[in-house]
Amino acid sequence: MDADSSHASEQNMASKICLLSLKFDSDNIDVARRLTTEGLRLNQRVEYLQKLSDIVETELFEFSTCNRVLYIGFDIEPEILAAGISKMVGVEDIPFIQMTGSDAWKHLVKVCSGLDSFIVGELQVMSQFRSSINFHRENNLIGTYNLAFFDHVISANRIIRKELGYTSSTESMLKLARTKLLEIVSKKGTTQSVVLGFGDMGVKAVETLDEMGQSEIIVASRNPQKSVKRNQELANRCNMITYDDIDAYIENADIVISTMRCSTPAYHKNKPLRMNKSGIVLDFSWPPSIEPEALTEHQTLLSMEQWIQLARNINDAEYRALVEKSEQLIDNIMKRYMEALSNKAQGKFRALIYNHMENLSTSWESSSVAQQKDIPQLGAFAREIATWICKQDQSFHLSDLTSYVKNTTRGFNSNLLEQVSQDVEQSIRTLTSIG
């Protein structure tokens, strides 16, 4: 008999957790656009995940970022989850990377730590991950037990950041474009800037422009009245407009920064970005919100591809050293994680056994075969039995347990010992669902 607890060993975890990941590139971008929930409204995303959960008949977690989408399923094989996603989006043979168990946990830690995308210490992905966890929790998409899995990912990320020396908050990807913005501003002086979107990235874009002394900042969003509430003080220094009003402002813009969330490009060949001058466009959206064909030859587009390439210019030797150190850190964290789960499972198991034996001792005390001299000892005897069970390091045969019970030196009468032995054996069979 073993103390049973899901996720409490690497073997159990392997059968409980699977991860499907697709990192976007030029070869799979069309598939990526079908898979990502970036750009969906809240109710659309909830509906999508509820329907997918119904298809695969299990709880699942979906996480989309600017360069990947991943799904985590519980109590399901990766092939079945992949088939369910294919059915949901109408795309066969999606080139997912599949992982299970501890490999899935480690991969998720790497993603959230920026260790797989050459942006070590990047907080943007971790912030998105936390937001996604809250989204699943608030919309009852995942229960409390499975959510605990993600708490350990967050804890591991915190340890890695500390050990690698990233103890202070770093900027998002916008930091990678700061040099370019400074270059533009230094050449042109006062510029007119248009920021599309006023979410987390949009706010950071406006903050950066504001810090550079730029005062002509126009911010476009779906609902300016609602957007203003995200940062009232900052919004007061901008001209807040709707997307419908953008054409009147964008034609004179020197800089356009897009942080829009949309599943398909908002600006393309048939809907150009009507800038009349040689402006610069910085697109931080993924999937892209602005296609190259939306601009003229006199304008410059810096898309997410440029930011990712820039991020990869980190010194290779230094990066490899950091990754090597992080691999060891993750292995150590994983070991502690499994030990904590095992200890927790063993604690619950011990409590269950002791409580069960105590209840049995109460029934023995009122048994017709119990003699008066036996009754004061039955509680202690039940605890001895519970202790024997909990001290077994491996599975044991019920015959060993009944032998232990019947060989007690407490001097019980044979009829009582037979009842105790039968009750203990039957209770263990019931608890472990055998026989």
Residue 227 lies in a domain: yes
Between CA 306 and CA 233 the distance in angstroms is 31
Range of the domain at 362: 340-432
CATH number at residue 19: 3.30.460.30
Q: What pLDDT score does 6 carry?
A: 45
CA angle 115, 10, 327 (to 5 degrees): 25
* Whether the predicted pLDDT of 7 surpasses 50: no
Position 408 scores a pLDDT of: 92
pLDDT score of 361: 92
**Mean local confidence (pLDDT), 112-119:** 64
Q: Does residue 166 sit in the same domain as residue 178?
A: no
CB 146 within 8 A of CB 74: yes
Give a yes or no: residue 276 inside a domain: yes
184 and 158 together in one domain: no
Q: In terms of pLDDT, which residue wins out, 44 or 27?
A: 44
> Are 148 and 179 members of one domain?
no
Q: How confident is the model at residue 79 (pLDDT cuts 50, 70, 90)?
A: very high
Decide if 193 is inside a domain: yes
Contact call for residues 227 and 254 (beta carbons, < 8 A): no
DSSP SS3 for 268: strand
Higher pLDDT among residues 435 and 165, named by residue: 165
Residues in the chain: 435
This prediction has a pTM of 0.52
Q: How confident is the model at residue 150 (pLDDT cuts 50, 70, 90)?
A: confident
Residue found by looking up tokens 């347990």 in the block:
401
Alpha-carbon torsion, ordered 225, 227, 230, 236, to 10 deg: -70
Q: Which of 51, 285, 337, 269 is nearest to 173 (CA)?
A: 285
> Same structural domain for residues 80 and 128?
yes
Q: Which domain-ending residue is among 122, 147, 170? A: 170
User: Which is more confident, 372 or 3?
Assistant: 372
- Per-residue pLDDT tens digits for 221-231: 989 998 898 89
Map 105-172 to HEC letters: HHHHHHHHHCCCCCCCCCHHHHHHHHHHHHHHHHCCCCCHHHHHHHHHHHHHHHHHHHHCCCCCCCCC
Residue 4 within a domain: no
Burial class from Cβ neighbours inside 10 Å (0-12, 13-18, 19+) for residue 8 reads: buried
Query: Does residue 116 carry a pLDDT above 90?
Result: no
Both 292 and 166 in a single domain?
A: no
Q: What is the pLDDT of residue 86?
A: 95
Residue 121 lies in a domain: yes
- Regarding whether 246 and 300 lie in a shared domain, the answer is yes
Distance CA 103, CA 111 (A): 12
Residues 179 and 160 in one domain: no
Residue 148 tokens, joined: 């605990």
> Is residue 290 very low, low, confident or very high in pLDDT (cuts 50, 70, 90)?
very high
**Overall number of domains in the chain:** 3
Query: Average pLDDT, stretch 416-422?
Result: 92
Residues 266, 271, 277: CA angle, nearest 5 degrees: 100
Residue 298: Cβ within 10 Å count = 10
Q: Do residues 144 and 247 share a domain?
A: no
Strand order in the sheet with 17-23: 60-64, 68-74, 17-23, 97-100
Q: Are residues 200 and 247 in the same domain?
A: yes
- Residue 80 Rama label (left phi>0; alpha psi -120 to 50; beta): alpha
Q: Does 1 fall in a domain? A: no
Residue 270 is assigned to a structural domain of this protein: yes
Q: What is the pLDDT of residues 154-181, one digit of tens each?
A: 888 888 777 776 544 444 455 667 777 8
> Is 333 domain-assigned?
no
Give the pLDDT confidence score for residue 199 in this predicted structure.
Answer: 83
**Mean of pLDDT values over 334-346:** 68
Query: Over 50: is that where the pLDDT of 5 sits?
Result: no
Query: What DSSP element (H or E) covers 173?
Result: none
Question: How confident is residue 15, by pLDDT bands cut at 50, 70 and 90?
Answer: low
* Tokens describing residue 403: 């032998």
Do 85 and 196 reside in the same domain of the chain? no
One domain for residues 249 and 133: no
Mean pLDDT of 242-251: 90
End residue of a domain, out of 311, 328, 356: 311
Q: What is the mean pLDDT of residues 340-354?
A: 73
The verdict on 186 and 272 lying in the same domain is yes
What's the whole-number average pLDDT of the chain? Answer: 82
Q: Which of 139, 170, 201 is the last residue of a domain?
A: 170
Give the per-residue pLDDT at 314.
53
